[in-house]
Structure 1
Amino acid sequence: MATVPQKQRFGPSDRLLAMFRTCSTNPTEDIKARLKLMLHTFLLHHRDILGDEKTKELAVRCCWEAGFWYYKILENLICQEQQRRPICDISVVLETHLVQSCLVACCLEISVCSNRLPCDLPLLLHILKMESYHFWRVIELVLRAEVGLPHTVMRHLFQVEEKVVEALAWTSNSLLWEEVRANAGNFPTCQQVMPPAQLEDPNATDLQPDPNPQGGVNRSQRSSPLHLFARKVYSLMSRRLRQLCSTLKVPDDLRLKIWTCFEFSLVNCTHLMVNRHLDQLLMCAIYIIAKITRMEISFKCIMKCYKSQPHTSRSVCKDVLISGRHVDNAPQNCGDHNNSPPTPDSPSAHYLGPFQERRGNLIYFYNQAYVAQMQHFAKQFARPFGVDTPPLSPYPRQRNASPRRRQLSSSPSISVSPYNRGTASPQTSGLCYYFNRSHPECLRDINNMIKTGRSPAKRCYAVSLGNVEEDCPSAKRPRLDDQSAWQRRLRDVADDRAVSGNQDLRGYKA
């Protein structure tokens, strides 16, 4: 459960109020009114729909915590922006109703996750009458705010973002389709949305570094909502394709062909994604390219490999939209439909839902919908050696995740950040934790706790108490090797010093 300081007053801090007063129009009342209305709407749903008293009390607690996180995150974000651009006018962001509403919704999602209230993201967005396509944009801002969210909550927010990108934003009534139509009816290419430095271009050579002029796309275009969303799509799916190809032992040259086929389906057959899941198109791309290039991989093997991944859902393979009102009316713009390549065996289908939607398993979707749209493009990869095939699409580079500074507690302020000493020595191969001399009592407790560390480690960190993070030569430098153990103990030390008391929930009654 997220650690919220006890007896914290509900509302903006004096520091945040001072920031509001610097705006051309003070947004304090608008922000309070919007927050109150959204939390009230959330409570009304749980009062009217659910009769369980325990659930109602939990919903009240969620509202209080959401309000606390909202003001705390907003304050940190403003401070970060002012440090980055001292002359910027923050009133533009504070007065943007959409951004602020999404931030409130994200804080509700945090409190729902922390308190395990039975309310998933689609239901939350339905209650608040919000679009998932807009919601995902604030998740990164919340994570960047560094307000001491527990690791479980941060992991949950990453998972929520993935759910929006892979499926929730692709529903037939999503605002995403309006932006696709405004982009000449096409989804952006990977090269249009990602900087060249982040791409592996298989078509480039030393003499001809970039044959595709689409990579001259300017920075303002890349910052548009549709291009930002597309970047998330390609980053996520490139990681998943790497994982699948590694497990299936697919060689790199074939992986690039699969990626090119997958990108083509998104850019030129975007309607295939209406009410569907990105993983469905990815698995179909793996199969069709494998068959075209005569690599023996059965569809069942692909699905079995997919189900072994940590992010998967059974419905992705079992419950796929085949045809329906929205899909049947979608534009068909993917070329000729003759001479289809070999298809999987044993199709099965069933009928579910209103408007006579036809649904079935992924193999049935491949046979009945996908192959008809994609065969003309995919067949070009079967041409004999020496005959031109479609140019391979650039692939997002594999990026090694570097550890970021993370606040473990708000009282006292304890955070962990990467530590570089310039030149590493063999003796500093373990996890090293450097403490300043603030909070001597807390420091003494942590020092005693750290002495029990024994296991090997791989990275160097600096731990700061308070605001001092510099390497202090005179400070003691104890070493702890078990990361999970010291994280738990650091939180215990911080929680023992938190002010006791009960949270004031009187402002929100179900």
Structure 2
Amino acid sequence: MSKQEDSDENWISAMDNLCSKLNVDPVAAKKSKESFSEIKLNYTLDGDILHWMACALYVACRTSITPTVQTGKAVEGNCVSLTRLLRLCNISLIQFFNKIKNWMEMAAMSTDFKDRITRLEHKFAVSTILFCNFQPIFQEIFSGLTNEPVKSNTKSKKQKLQPCTTNALFEFTWCMYVCVKGEFHNSAHDLVDMYHVLLSCLDYVFANAFMARRIDLINPAFKGLPADWMKDDFELPKKPPCIISVLSEIKEGLAVEAATMKEYSWRPVIKTFFEKGILKGNSEDLTGLLDIGNFDVNVKSLNNLYETYVLSVGEFDERIFLGEHANEQIGTKNKVSGDEISQVIASFGPSGRACPDTPLTGRRYLARREERTPVSEATNSVARLAALLRSARPKPSPHLLRFFADCGVSEEIINTNVVKPCNVWMEQFSNNLKECNCSNETIAFRCNMVTCLYYKVLEHIIREEHRKKPQLSLHVLLSQETYQLTVYACCTEVVLHAYGVHSLRFPRVLQIYGLSAFHFYKIIELVVQAVVEKLSRDVIKHLNAVEEQVLESLVWTSDSPLWDQLTKTPVPAATEVYVQDSPNCRRNISGLQSPVSAVIDRFLTPMADQAKKQLFKDNIKPGQSLLVQANNNIKQEASDPQSPPNTSTPSSTESTPNTTPKKANNSLILFFRKFYSLAVVRMNDLCTRLRLTDEELKQKIWTCLEYSIMHQTQLMRDRHLDQILMCAVYVICKVSHNPNNQVERTFADIMRCYRQRPLADNHVYRSVLINKGNGEESPERGDLINFYNKVYVKCMQNFALRFTGRHECSLSPLPAGRARAGRWSPGGQRVSERHQLYVKPLTTPPNHHHLLTYQFSRSPAKDLHAINTMVSCEVGGGVKRGAEGGDVVKRARLAAPGVARKLQGLVSDRQAV
């Protein structure tokens, strides 16, 4: 027998043994062995082989549906306990989450399955946070908790039953909590709600201990006790006490929220437990759980209930935190404690982190970071939101109605265009909350909160819009339902994130309201500006991250309205979408400028005649000089190209008919301004991590990236900005490599550095669209290298070769980032929409040897004439290919032989377009 055959027999035997111990059905067992065999054949499985078997078995069980005989309902998970599976395979939960991610990529699992793993991962993170809060709160209320494990209650019938100990009560309380939490399966990932359920649980157990007069259990120093609690003549009240407000005060809870959760979510579940006989005690006031004879029965009953639940859903057992070997099974150094929480959460992706990464853009809106726990961060977000809306009502405020009246807006228009649509959206939101098993009271509360926030933000935006453009009729604004809907959707996202409603995490809000990402992004910054000083840093940071997610990928899906706009207008260059200094403009996030009108420019898409200040006009005739009068500092040239620079003869103002290309509307300009700002920040960050500091090399990368966006726009369809960026970095580093310039970087280097970036996702480079296929085939996907070889090279090879050194290629200036606000490199201020012409103060000698330059009062006239020659041949839609391009160089050579080489590079570059 060969070593390979012996090895195969070993793993098959080990897999059979696992399936037998877990009682896996034959179909799932066969499926797991087939997938394991295929993965093992195609990939090298490092480490313990049992760890990979755990992944294969888990996937096989989770993708199997088992019908039950009694109920007829389908059960997920194949009735296999994940915790027991991991124990048999000697792998911790944290190790499992890391392994299963790699397994899903190797096995090309569906997006739906990956989402389920993400939810499971997030649920574990939330459970870890909650358990870390559970123990100190429990010890605040009760006394006598020790590190001794709970002894088994295997007593003989003759042996007298003893009252429960504090340790037994501790385990019972956590078990009851996870049982009740299981009833809210869809919202078990929501930190704020589940924390308030935990407070409700502790309140309930305290009430039972209080009514049983268990002085031995309750901490006499607890603030929630009556002053005479320890006196012998203390008289118990008729109703159990409530300590929700006390717990909220001392343990970072929200009293109103917790009280609502207790009354409308916790109590109904406990009542059903009594009705079904799961809990034994006084069913009238729901007490008596700790009585001798009841407690042990209740412990056993709850454990049986929870074990059934875990097997039915195929998830991890949350009682794992109570065990002696919790640290080994979870994967932490010590038994889970407050000190370990950051390590546990940081092991996961961004969706599970207690403190998510800060996006690279939008940081100017973030307040100074405060040290907070995960729970305090979450409750702080809700508390600040509640404070903002304390006096608000889910309808237009009297101030807004008065403002409408002053602007001539009738009550009928307000009712038809504002109130009625809002009521429809509130109903849509309500229906989606019902899917999360929220109580009717919780649904009503959150719908009201979204609506109150909506009217508050809407009023702020409308007042700002009217202040900037008082001549604008409000009827125009109120007729734009899409604009109002995006405001409502963004307010919904704020509330959902503040409460940590993971099951409705972004971009689910777009599905709720039937919105496109392209329309949604337009309102995000306006909403942030309206509430930036009122909401928590975490919520603002989330909205920044959402904006990045929209710009990097969601607006580029095949069904995006962006593609329809691009069929009418070509993609503008970065230099065409930035506004220069103007008294009527305000600075945006990159230190550049935005048009005066916010909503109009975003939603009504007027033509962008005033999108940027022009120092040079584009109605230039062949042979006409470029210079026009501006600020009395630059003189206008005569129509004779031989005129000296200081001639001030006016030029003709006639324009060449049918030669002006279509301008992008303001909506598109604003979009690409945001998109290019994000792109250049991402590029600079990646270059820094790769130690690519040469400015000219960065310009080459940017030029390549910009070209792909402008002229190979289909590369972005159903793909991600970072995919195209990494390819641009790789190809430019490759073609720019020479013995004297060691800049070449491998894809492994690039992807390693990319992973270090905030909010980076391995899925971006592991699963890239290769071929969309047709209706009969599923899309072909592969890793980034596969995409580069099969798709990217075919589109970009000819252009990339311009940077090999055999050709001189003009470089696009980098858009000004925050650190470079107000200036352009290398060209300064762009002065023409149709030509790459820039002007800047002469502070240092220019060192851009690829560019044609002219220094006033210093350069010879031939340099200016060469620029005029170049532009005169571009009029009419750009440099002509072939012979015409050669003619440009020939004329330049006659005028100024010294600049012919540079001009050749410019012509060659344009011929590649």
TM range (shorter): 0.5 to 0.7
Q: In 1, distance between residues paired with 2:554 and 2:734?
A: 30
8 Å contact 1:139–1:161 — kept in the other structure? yes
TM norm structure 2: 0.37
1:296 aligns with 2:744: yes
**What is the aligned length?**
359
Question: Counterpart of 1:236?
Answer: 678
Residues 83, 7 of structure 1: CA spacing in aligned structure 2 closer, same or farther, 3 A cutoff?
A: closer
1:270 aligns with 2:713: yes
Equivalence map 1:336-347=2 (5 Å): none
1:134 aligns with 2:519: yes
Q: In 1, distance between residues paired with 2:673 and 2:424?
A: 33
Question: Counterpart of 1:121?
Answer: 506
Equivalence map 1:223-372=2 (5 Å): 224-250=666-692, 251-294=694-737, 295-325=743-773, 355-372=777-794
Q: 2:557 aligns with which of 158, 171, 183?
A: 171
Describe the superposition over 1:43-79 as per-residue Cα deviations: whole angstroms up to 9, x where unpaired: 22332x44x235x655443321111111111112222
- The Cα of 1:11 is off from its aligned counterpart by 1.2
Describe the superposition over 1:146-165 as per-residue Cα deviations: whole angstroms up to 9, x where unpaired: 46122211111111111110
Describe the superposition over 1:118-177 as per-residue Cα deviations: whole angstroms up to 9, x where unpaired: 212222111211111000001111122246122211111111111110000000111110
Structure 1 SS opposite 2:385: coil
8 Å contact 1:171–1:275 — kept in the other structure? yes
**Over aligned residues, Cα RMSD in angstroms?**
3.1
- The Cα of 1:98 is off from its aligned counterpart by 1.1
Structure 2 SS opposite 1:359: strand
- The Cα of 1:193 is off from its aligned counterpart by 1.1
CA radius of gyration, larger in: 2
Equivalence map 1:92-491=2 (5 Å): 92-117=476-501, 118-146=503-531, 148-183=534-569, 186-195=570-579, 221=663, 224-250=666-692, 251-294=694-737, 295-325=743-773, 355-384=777-806, 387=807, 389-400=808-819
Q: 1:3 aligns with which of 360, 379, 385?
A: 385
TM norm structure 1: 0.65
Q: In 2, distance between residues paired with 1:67 and 1:12?
A: 10
8 Å contact 2:755–2:762 — kept in the other structure? yes
- The Cα of 1:84 is off from its aligned counterpart by 3.1
8 Å contact 2:450–2:492 — kept in the other structure? yes
Q: In 2, distance between residues paired with 1:12 and 1:194?
A: 36
- The Cα of 1:7 is off from its aligned counterpart by 5.8
- The Cα of 1:400 is off from its aligned counterpart by 4.3
8 Å contact 2:409–2:474 — kept in the other structure? no
Q: In 1, distance between residues paired with 2:491 and 2:422?
A: 11
AA of the residue aligned to 1:38:
W
Which piece of structure 1 moves more, 26-35 or 93-102? 26-35
Structure 1 SS opposite 2:770: strand
Q: In 2, distance between residues paired with 1:179 and 1:73?
A: 28
Question: Counterpart of 1:461?
Answer: none
Residues 85, 40 of structure 1: CA spacing in aligned structure 2 closer, same or farther, 3 A cutoff?
A: same
Q: In 2, distance between residues paired with 1:235 and 1:223?
A: 18
Q: In 2, distance between residues paired with 1:284 and 1:58?
A: 48
Residues 383, 236 of structure 1: CA spacing in aligned structure 2 closer, same or farther, 3 A cutoff?
A: same
- The Cα of 1:83 is off from its aligned counterpart by 3.2
Q: In 1, distance between residues paired with 2:463 and 2:767?
A: 46
Q: In 1, distance between residues paired with 2:448 and 2:820?
A: 34
8 Å contact 1:45–1:127 — kept in the other structure? yes
8 Å contact 2:677–2:817 — kept in the other structure? no
1:40 aligns with 2:462: no
8 Å contact 1:222–1:228 — kept in the other structure? no
Q: In 2, distance between residues paired with 1:354 and 1:212?
A: 50
Structure 1 SS opposite 2:794: helix
Q: In 1, distance between residues paired with 2:820 and 2:448?
A: 34
AA of the residue aligned to 2:732:
I
AA of the residue aligned to 1:270:
T
Describe the superposition over 1:81-134 as per-residue Cα deviations: whole angstroms up to 9, x where unpaired: 333344442221122111111111111111111111121222211121111100
8 Å contact 2:394–2:449 — kept in the other structure? no
8 Å contact 1:199–1:394 — kept in the other structure? no
Larger relative contact order (Cα-Cα within 8 Å, sequence gap ≥ 6)? 1
Structure 1 SS opposite 2:485: helix
Q: In 2, distance between residues paired with 1:144 and 1:222?
A: 26
AA of the residue aligned to 1:276:
R
User: Structure 1: where are the runs of 5+ without partners?
Assistant: 201-208, 327-352, 403-510
Q: In 2, distance between residues paired with 1:223 and 1:192?
A: 12
8 Å contact 2:686–2:753 — kept in the other structure? yes
8 Å contact 1:299–1:363 — kept in the other structure? yes
Question: Counterpart of 1:437?
Answer: none
Q: In 1, distance between residues paired with 2:726 and 2:591?
A: 22
- The Cα of 1:189 is off from its aligned counterpart by 1.2
Calculate percent identity across the aligned residue pairs.
33
- The Cα of 1:379 is off from its aligned counterpart by 0.5
Q: In 1, distance between residues paired with 2:619 and 2:687?
A: 29
8 Å contact 2:571–2:709 — kept in the other structure? yes
Structure 2 SS opposite 1:321: strand
Residues 372, 100 of structure 1: CA spacing in aligned structure 2 closer, same or farther, 3 A cutoff?
A: same
AA of the residue aligned to 1:383:
G
Q: In 2, distance between residues paired with 1:86 and 1:315?
A: 48
Describe the superposition over 1:188-230 as per-residue Cα deviations: whole angstroms up to 9, x where unpaired: 2112211356899xxxxxxxx99999999x9x95652222111
AA of the residue aligned to 1:40:
E
Q: In 1, distance between residues paired with 2:522 and 2:780?
A: 33
8 Å contact 1:77–1:141 — kept in the other structure? yes
Question: Counterpart of 1:62?
Answer: 446
AA of the residue aligned to 2:401:
L
8 Å contact 1:63–1:111 — kept in the other structure? no
Describe the superposition over 1:416-452 as per-residue Cα deviations: whole angstroms up to 9, x where unpaired: xxxxxxxxxxxxxxxxxxxxxxxxxxxxxxxxxxxxx
Residues 45, 227 of structure 1: CA spacing in aligned structure 2 closer, same or farther, 3 A cutoff?
A: same
Describe the superposition over 1:441-473 as per-residue Cα deviations: whole angstroms up to 9, x where unpaired: xxxxxxxxxxxxxxxxxxxxxxxxxxxxxxxxx
Describe the superposition over 1:307-361 as per-residue Cα deviations: whole angstroms up to 9, x where unpaired: 10012111111111111137xxxxxxxxxxxxxxxxxxxxxxxxxx983211111
Which piece of structure 1 moves more, 315-324 or 114-123? 114-123
AA of the residue aligned to 2:773:
R
Describe the superposition over 1:345-396 as per-residue Cα deviations: whole angstroms up to 9, x where unpaired: xxxxxxxx98321111111111111111101000011033xx4x22111211
